[in-house]
Amino acid sequence: MSSDLQVFRLPDLGEGLTEAELVNWLVAVGDQVKVDQPIAEVETAKSMVEVPSPYAGTVAELHGEAGQTLDVGKPLISIARVGTGSGSPDAPADAADAVSTGVLASPEVSAAAETYRTEEKAGSGNVLIGYGTPGGATGGRTRPRKASVAVVEPAAVPEASFEPAVAGTRIPGKLSAVISPLVRKMARDHGVSLDSIEGSGASGLIMRRDVEAAISAPEAPAATAPAPAVAAAASAAEGSVDGRTGLAVSARTPVRGVRKAVAANMTKSRSEIPEATVWVDVDATALLDMRAELKKRAPHDTPGLLAFIARFVTAGLKKYPALNTRFETAADGSQEIVGFDGINLGFAAQTDRGLVVPSVRNAHELSARELDAEIRRLTAVARDGKATPTELGSGTFTLNNYGVFGVDGSAAIINYPEVAMLGVGRIIDKPWVVNGELAVRKVTELTLAFDHRVCDGETAAGFLRYVADAIENPGGALADM
């Protein structure tokens, strides 16, 4: 390897994480990069982060493709020092140079390379596929061939730049049918064969819009038999028969990223925590009336219902601190209940990446209005995949508003290593006795799951009743907080 080539390895991402999924390259081979310039987006079990480059120079090689899981410490990118060109005399600086290695480049090819480069950088939507693009593995579904695919001879293309499995007619002087690994990932995730797509870009370059059109096109029987590799993949996903049920397997979805972390956390919670559950129906009419009155006075600055309930929860945890602890077992078998001087209130947030639990740090110090602002901010960054490991892993108690999904109650699994979780169901009209008379009231159900090792039912019931009473008499409760 040339001494002028600087190899940057995937850094330690903190929180004990040992791997990350490469979601998106922000640079391409031949690009000039500066120190601290973001070069890739990676997704860990905690969040999605941008990885900055510690070197300046020319990108010589990308070690991995979108969708690939990389171990911490493994090569991520190779960068040639400024003024030395690429790290290898045989490696072209960009896609246009790749074409000129062994074949004569044309202005059309150079234009296509520049089109690709511009779209990758600017995120035009034609090539760049960022985080959050929906779709999953649906098996090796193939579509009818539309036209031959133009690709470069393998000798003219650096390994890290193109997919060697793309097959089709090779036309000298043309770019590869697909330059972007992100477009390839989109096609792979939706089971679309790139052989069947006629690229609309310069020199037959397959763009994101071409793959999207293929995904939305009605399916038809394939005109030709799939290649052996494609057939094998299809057999593994769709053609195989499950031995236990006798049914054909429709798809196999790898468990990784956030889903993998959630699965491990829930399994550990269920296996280690002897949890119990208590619940109560609550008349939330007064809380809704109070918020409606506040909204009349300040239409754009009124906290949401969850923020008020969060305020009641933090007050309740001060009164019943056993539910704001952690149960620890040391290597020698000794056990401790660890208490905290403060409350980091987690709340469940549904995102495209799965369920995550960002936490409001020092929530006990915040008003309902401040809690509302922080809940909204954390929800936004979590859904964008930008929440930090600290924001996602520092909670001491979780509030779960599953009422937004239209359900009344849930036997929730505690967010390990916490010891309790409060769930809030939907608020609906129900018959309720008020001052001895039947009336229609706004009623919700509160459900508390707690670790029976840290407290008995009396403590759990006391906390639950405190929050319920605050919801039913919010004015009086807020006056005392």
CA-closest candidate to residue 29, choices 135, 126, 101, 133:
101
User: Is 368:290 a contact under the CB 8 Å cutoff?
Assistant: no
* Rg from Cα positions in the chain: 28
> Where do the DSSP E strands lie in 234-304?
275-283
The pair of three-digit structure tokens given for residue 178, joined into one six-digit string = 């697909």
Sign of CA dihedral 243, 256, 380, 374: positive
Report which DSSP code applies to 300: T
Helix (H, G, I), strand (E, B) or coil at 22: strand
Cα separation, 412 vs 325, in Å, equals 18
For residue 403, which of 382, 428, 433 has the smallest C-alpha distance? 428
Q: Which residues does residue 8 pair with via DSSP β-bridges, in sequence order?
A: 77
358 and 375 in contact (C-beta within 8 Å)? no
Q: Which residue has the tokens 């390259």?
A: 25
What is the C-alpha separation between 233 and 239, in angstroms, rounded? 9
d(CA 277, CA 318): 20
Amino acid at 480: D
Distance CA 416, CA 273 (A): 8
Cβ-in-10-Å burial (0-12, 13-18, 19+) of 433 comes to: exposed
Q: 151-161 as b/e, with b when 16 or more CB fall inside 10 Å?
A: bbeeebbbebb
Cβ(95)–Cβ(179) under 8 Å?
yes
> Nearest Cα to 352, choosing from 233, 250, 476, 259?
259
175 phi/psi in degrees, rounded to 5: -75, 165
Q: Is 63 a catalytic residue?
A: no
**Residues 398, 343: Cα–Cα separation, whole Å:** 10
Give the three-state DSSP class for 263: helix
Which two tokens mark 184? 């390839």
Q: How far apart are CA 14 and CA 391, in angstroms?
A: 13
| Residues annotated as catalytic (active site), given as ranges | 452
